[in-house]
């Protein structure tokens, strides 16, 4: 796996070696420390800025190699544009861009001087956000690569390694404190990315369960329901999806009790965990079927979130439930036309065995609300290709029966950059999943496919505030950006942690 650098904070001072990163505003203007360092280097930095016509705009960067007699391998000048225009998300992106530049060259250690021109202060939260962005960008999944970079491989095929990055600013102690919780959340994001990136032959329901059980060392109580318990609870919808696989399904319940009142109603998060989805008897086309190893992105996000909440000791009671199955074509697999009875007692006619995730969630949602009586439920699922047609890869679909919960989720999405877009629910859509042979059917055709999938889920939600996030376009194979170059993004962990932190902690 790629090296995740150690992150430290210090007062502003000139490092004796390695790489130094300076910030520049519009026109390439440096701060006080940067200007002083340039003077020591005989004007090497400002000469490079002028020669390259570097304008300091946000997203720009300039390398100055072996500058003067400072003992440094190089100086990187990163543009931030107009300092007054910097928003919360811009500091996160800045950290990611810095990590990209650091890995593009040599030098094991680096110092990032967080100093804006014109005497603008860099707060502890700004510094901590930059450090978070740098850590998230440092992730890479190369666990199964055995060859090292050779001379005949194209430059840039592999990132360089950076073992430590120090952020230097006026108030390092405050930044260090602010980063502690962010660092724990980053750990949850990286866990979710690892899970999504793992191939299905290495991560079946049993192996995923072990990953969740590892959270017990953080104080998370983990309960595992095996096939025997699932049958006893009559979770026939979930079981039907997994009956064609040699690897039996699991339902895993993770519980974090961080509130002062341990009996207070919890918040609940439910994740779809189809570790591989062939489509079953309604088999998918061969093209890109390998991507279906990521069809457990919802379960990965819930597991990463539970790690983040426990690691930062969130003052909330929280439940994470993940339904883990594999959808395979086999002599024992469910067939189109089968009718199964869900845990709720409602019957489902299977029209398409590739509409399997909603059946897993049907029993998981019902079990969660009946057993734990949560304050709200949010489920996450790589549920439909239709949501990608509607929203592309830049926003996840949001469906909800509660305006307040939907608005809070949308606000958390804007704050973290894990953006959502609310789509409708309604009786006219609900009619599309009515069945002549059962209480409902599991697929309603191409029209409004993401909405009818959400309508299906809503039938397994009683009077509980609930939201469904369709993350098919954002959890896997989403566009690379400043803080993630991985196929698996870990989408949802930071979003939901922010929701909890802003509204549901004591």
Q: Is the dihedral of CA 441, 442, 447, 449 positive or negative?
A: positive
Residue pair 152/502 in contact (Cβ under 8 Å)? The answer is no
The pLDDT, as a whole number, for residue 148 is: 61
The DSSP string of 187-204 is HHHHHHHHHHHS-TTT--
Q: Is the dihedral of CA 204, 210, 214, 216 positive or negative?
A: positive
Residue pair 44/38 in contact (Cβ under 8 Å)? The answer is yes
Tell me the pLDDT tens digit for each residue of 45-90.
999 999 999 999 999 999 998 787 898 999 999 999 999 899 989 9
pLDDT at 151 over 50: no
Tell me the pLDDT tens digit for each residue of 338-388.
999 999 999 999 999 999 999 999 999 999 999 999 999 999 999 999 999
Region 162-179: mean pLDDT is 96
pLDDT at 26 over 70: yes
Give the span between the Cα atoms of 271 and 360, in whole angstroms.
9
**Residues carrying an active site annotation:** 284, 358
Q: Is the dihedral of CA 265, 271, 273, 279 positive or negative?
A: positive
pTM of the model: 0.96
- Edge-to-edge strands, sheet with 396-400: 221-225, 250-257, 317-327, 267-277, 376-381, 466-470, 396-400, 420-422
Tell me the pLDDT tens digit for each residue of 281-323.
999 999 999 999 999 999 999 999 999 999 999 999 999 999 9
Percent of the chain at pLDDT exceeding 70:
97
What is the per-residue burial (b if ≥16 Cβ within 10 Å, else e) of 47-63? ebbeeeebebebebbbe
Q: What is the mean pLDDT of the chain?
A: 95
Confidence of residue 221 (pLDDT cuts 50, 70, 90): very high
Confidence of residue 120 (pLDDT cuts 50, 70, 90): confident
Residues 6+ apart with CB under 8 A from 188: 304, 305, 306, 307, 308, 309, 311, 490, 493, 497
Strand boundaries in 56-196, DSSP class E:
61-65, 74-81, 109-113, 164-168
The pLDDT, as a whole number, for residue 156 is: 44
Give the span between the Cα atoms of 302 and 378, in whole angstroms.
10
Give the span between the Cα atoms of 295 and 477, in whole angstroms.
11
Percent of the chain at pLDDT exceeding 90:
90
Taking the alpha carbons at both ends of the chain, their separation in whole angstroms is: 37
């Amino acid at each position: 796996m790629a090296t995740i650098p150690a992150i430290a904070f210090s007062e502003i001072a000139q490092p004796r070696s390695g790489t130094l990163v300076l910030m520049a505003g519009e026109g390439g203007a440096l701060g006080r420390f940067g200007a002083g360092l340039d003077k020591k280097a005989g004007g090497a930095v400002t000469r490079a800025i002028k020669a390259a016509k570097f304008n300091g705009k946000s997203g720009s960067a300039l390398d100055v190699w072996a500058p003067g007699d400072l003992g440094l391998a190089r100086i990187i000048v990163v543009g931030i544009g107009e300092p007054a225009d910097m928003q919360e998300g811009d500091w996160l992106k800045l950290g990611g861009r810095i990590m990209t530049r650091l890995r593009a060259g040599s030098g094991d250690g680096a110092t990032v001087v967080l100093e804006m021109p014109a005497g603008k202060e860099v707060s502890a939260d700004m510094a901590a956000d930059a450090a978070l962005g740098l850590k998230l960008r440092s992730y890479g999944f190369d666990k199964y690569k055995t060859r090292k970079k050779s001379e005949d491989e194209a430059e840039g095929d592999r990132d360089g390694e950076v073992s430590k990055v120090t952020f230097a600013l006026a108030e390092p102690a405050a930044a260090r404190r602010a980063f502690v919780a962010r660092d724990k959340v980053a750990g949850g994001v990286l866990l979710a990315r690892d899970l999504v990136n793992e191939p299905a032959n290495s991560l079946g329901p049993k192996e995923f369960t072990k990953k969740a059980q590892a959270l017990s060392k953080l104080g998370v109580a983990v309960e595992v329901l095996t096939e025997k318990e699932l049958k006893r609870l009559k979770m026939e919808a979930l079981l039907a999806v997994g009956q064609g696989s040699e690897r039996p399904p699991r339902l895993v319940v993770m519980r974090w009790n961080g509130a002062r009142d341990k009996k207070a109603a919890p918040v609940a998060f439910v994740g779809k965990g189809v570790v591989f989805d062939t489509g079953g008897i309604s088999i998918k086309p061969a093209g890109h079927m390998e991507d279906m190893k990521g069809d457990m992105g919802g379960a990965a996000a819930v597991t990463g979130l539970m790690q983040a909440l426990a690691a930062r000791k969130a003052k909330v009671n929280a439940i994470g439930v993940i339904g883990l199955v594999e959808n395979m074509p086999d002599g024992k697999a469910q067939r189109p036309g089968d009718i199964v009875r869900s845990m709720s007692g409602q019957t489902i006619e299977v029209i398409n065995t590739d509409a399997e995730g909603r059946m897993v969630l049907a029993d998981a949602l019902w079990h969660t609300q009946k057993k734990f009586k949560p304050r709200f439920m949010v489920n996450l699922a790589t549920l439909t290709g239709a949501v990608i047609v509607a929203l592309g890869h830049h926003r996840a679909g949001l469906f909800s029966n509660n305006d307040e919960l939907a608005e809070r989720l949308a606000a958390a999405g804007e704050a973290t950059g894990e953006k959502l877009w609310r789509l409708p629910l309604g009786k006219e859509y609900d009619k599309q999943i009515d069945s002549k042979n059962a209480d409902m059917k599991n697929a309603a055709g191409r029209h409004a496919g993401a909405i009818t999938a959400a309508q299906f889920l809503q039938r397994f939600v009683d009077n509980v505030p609930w939201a469904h996030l369709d993350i098919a376009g954002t959890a896997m194979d989403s566009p690379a950006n400043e803080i993630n170059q991985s196929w698996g993004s870990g989408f949802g962990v930071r979003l939901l942690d922010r929701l909890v932190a802003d509204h549901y902690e004591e």
